[in-house]
Amino acid sequence: VDKIKAFSVGGEDYITKPLQIEELLARVENKMTIKKQKQKMKEENTQLKQEISERQQTEEELKLLHRAIDACQNGIMITDSTQTDNPIVYVNQGFETLTGYSKAEVMGKNPRFLHKNHPAQTALTEVSTALQEQRKCNVVLQNTRKNSTRWWNQLSISPVPDTTGTLTHYIGVQTDITQRQEVELALRLSEEKFARAFSTSPASMMICTLREGQLLDVNNSFCSLSGYKREELLSQSTIDLRIWVDSKERDRITKTLTLKGKVTNQEVNFRTKSGKIVTTLLSAEVIYIDREACVVAVGEDITDRKQMEKAMSIANQELERLASIDDLTTVANRRQFDRYLRQQWQVLKREQLPLTLIMCDIDYFKTYNDTYGHLEGDYCLRQVAQAIKRSVKRPADLVARYGGEEFAVILPNTTTEGGIHVAKIIQQQVRLLEIIHNSSDVSRYVTLSMGVASIVPNQQFSRELLILAADRGLYKAKTQGKNMIVRNDILY
């Protein structure tokens, strides 16, 4: 009864009297054994829970890895290296997308079917060697999709050993670099074309840094034009070589290139090795080499053309001068008179300043020719023309042969009184010539009759009326006795 009560209130064991040592020791030993077993079971249970947790975590990681591999855009395949032909044992969805083959179509096959249309690639030798040596390799291969289209595959192969270090599998990662390869190919072809064009171009070409002008490359035409050898130019600065004749011109072009990125058809002067100055038609554009702003420049030597243009300009000016000069007297001709009067009329009309015209005629010139002959008549005309020319001092004044023995003097910004003053000087200069004229009724020397008229140009009158007024003054001088100056104020 006592034992039952003891167990009912939670007792685990009991000891009865009289106390026996053997029983006590047996019971203590039994108690310790049970306690140890419980502790061991607890520890084993904890370890089991940890193993289960770790296994669940590993399974989750494997599932995540599998999902990640399937979600990867790269093609991933695994081959079994323990079998003779390295058959494919796994491919992801990225592989199916890249190649066009389904997993079922490729399982158990060797991956070489992917490049069967391109069997002579040198990269395949690298793959074969890497497999034999059981090492990693990275190659670029031309592959063919299921639909027969070609694509460039950047393939990375890695050996996969087991826990003992024994090789069991290979994993291959595929990346489609078709677009990059095509761009690189186009760029390479472009660079090759540029290099050929650069070296063979008849135009002078150079590449230099934008800031310092350090020469990076020059072509044969540039060397021929500059007189330098290629090795003398490379790594030198255009500033140090003193190629630029005008440093301000270089600064201006550099500023334009910095702001706009290019210049087109700029005439610039360069100094050659011998010191000769050449004129070139320069076009340049900014490019970047290793992130540094550089300039590719093309220059056409136009030195001969510029010299020819200059010579032609001088020749044209001389022709223009000759076209405006009277052959006999070397003063302005009638064509130049009309042009200059028209020009000054517009200027003085705008400025509202007076314009004076003197019309001159040699008295009794017909009888002079009849008496002394035409050669002497020509001499007389030349002498009189030069005397009139000496009488006018200002650059804006014009002396012209109006026709026959008649001359005209245009005096811009001159009043009638100023015109009369000039006419008197002309009269005096002709008298000083003392050209004998025995057939004259007014003097034993050649004399002039002159008409002077002046006007402030305006919309109401025309320049023809000014000529008419001066000509009427001349007519009055002729009819009133010759060798005189008549002022005609009809328009003034």
Q: Tell me the torsion sign for CA atoms 133, 139, 145, 148.
A: negative
pLDDT at residue 63 in the model: 79
Q: Provide the Cα torsion 95, 99, 100, 105; round to 10°.
A: -70
Q: How confident is the model at residue 43 (pLDDT cuts 50, 70, 90)?
A: confident
Q: How confident is the model at residue 136 (pLDDT cuts 50, 70, 90)?
A: very high
pLDDT at residue 208 in the model: 92
Cβ-contact 295, 285 below 8 angstroms: yes
pLDDT at residue 6 in the model: 59
Cβ-contact 474, 361 below 8 angstroms: yes
Distances in Å between the Cα of 116 and the Cα atoms of 85, 90, 253, 317 are 16, 20, 57, 79
Over the stretch 65-99, which tens digit does the pLDDT of each residue have?
Answer: 777 787 788 999 999 999 988 999 999 999 999 99
Q: Which CATH class is domain 324-487?
A: alpha beta
User: Any idea which of 286-295, 420-429, 431-440 has the lowest mean pLDDT?
Assistant: 286-295
Q: How confident is the model at residue 15 (pLDDT cuts 50, 70, 90)?
A: low
pLDDT at residue 491 in the model: 46
**β-strand partners of 362:** 448
Cβ-contact 439, 371 below 8 angstroms: yes
Cβ-contact 254, 210 below 8 angstroms: yes
The residues near 69 (Cβ < 8 Å, ≥ 6 apart) are 76, 92
The residue annotated as part of the active site, out of 12, 43, 309, 405, is 405
Residue range 438-452: average pLDDT? 95
Task: Indicate whether 449 pLDDT > 50.
Answer: yes
State residue 480 phi and psi, 5-degree precision: -95, 5
pLDDT at residue 21 in the model: 76
Rg (CA), the chain: 56
Please state whether 397 falls in left (phi above 0), alpha (psi between -120 and 50) or beta: beta
405 belongs to the catalytic site: yes
Cβ-contact 357, 411 below 8 angstroms: yes
The full DSSP string for 278-296 is EEEEEEEEEEEETTEEEEE
pLDDT at residue 26 in the model: 75
Over the stretch 221-279, which tens digit does the pLDDT of each residue have?
Answer: 999 999 999 999 987 888 888 999 999 999 999 999 999 999 999 999 999 999 999 99
Burial class (CB in 10 A: 0-12, 13-18, 19+), 193: exposed
Task: Indicate whether 9 pLDDT > 70.
Answer: no
pLDDT at residue 322 in the model: 76
Percent of the chain topping pLDDT 70:
95
State residue 269 phi and psi, 5-degree precision: -105, 130
Tell which residue, 295, 280, 288, 291, has the closest CA to residue 207: 295
Same fold, 72-182 and 201-305: yes
User: Any idea which of 11-15, 195-199, 312-316 has the lowest mean pLDDT?
Assistant: 11-15
CATH 3.30.450.20 fits domain 201-305: yes
pLDDT at residue 465 in the model: 93
Cβ-contact 67, 44 below 8 angstroms: no
Please state whether 119 falls in left (phi above 0), alpha (psi between -120 and 50) or beta: alpha
Name the token pair of 377: 């008549």
pLDDT at residue 29 in the model: 79
pLDDT at residue 492 in the model: 42
- What gap in Å lies between CA 454 and CA 469, rounded to an integer? 8
Task: Indicate whether 11 pLDDT > 60.
Answer: no
User: Any idea which of 5-19, 24-38, 413-427, 429-443 has the lowest mean pLDDT?
Assistant: 5-19
Q: Both ends of the chain: CA-CA distance in Å?
A: 167
Task: Indicate whether 378 pLDDT > 80.
Answer: yes
pLDDT at residue 343 in the model: 96
| Mean pLDDT score of the chain | 89
Rounded (10°) angle between helices 463-479 and 334-351: 120
Task: Indicate whether 457 pLDDT > 80.
Answer: yes
- What gap in Å lies between CA 406 and CA 388, rounded to an integer? 12
**β-strand partners of 360:** 407, 450
Q: Which carries the bigger pLDDT value, residue 120 or residue 140?
A: 140
The residues near 397 (Cβ < 8 Å, ≥ 6 apart) are 409, 410, 411, 412, 422
Q: Which CATH class is domain 72-182?
A: alpha beta
Beta strands in 322-472 (DSSP E): 355-362, 398-403, 406-412, 448-455
Tell which residue, 278, 302, 301, 297, has the closest CA to residue 215: 297
Q: How confident is the model at residue 466 (pLDDT cuts 50, 70, 90)?
A: very high
Beta strands in 302-354 (DSSP E): none
Q: Which carries the bigger pLDDT value, residue 233 or residue 181?
A: 233
Q: What angle do CA 344, 350, 353 make, to 5 degrees?
A: 70
The full DSSP string for 369-387 is HHHH-HHHHHHHHHHHHHH
Cβ-contact 154, 181 below 8 angstroms: no
- Domain ranges across the chain: 17-63, 72-182, 201-305, 324-487
Task: Indicate whether 471 pLDDT > 90.
Answer: yes
Task: Indicate whether 140 pLDDT > 50.
Answer: yes
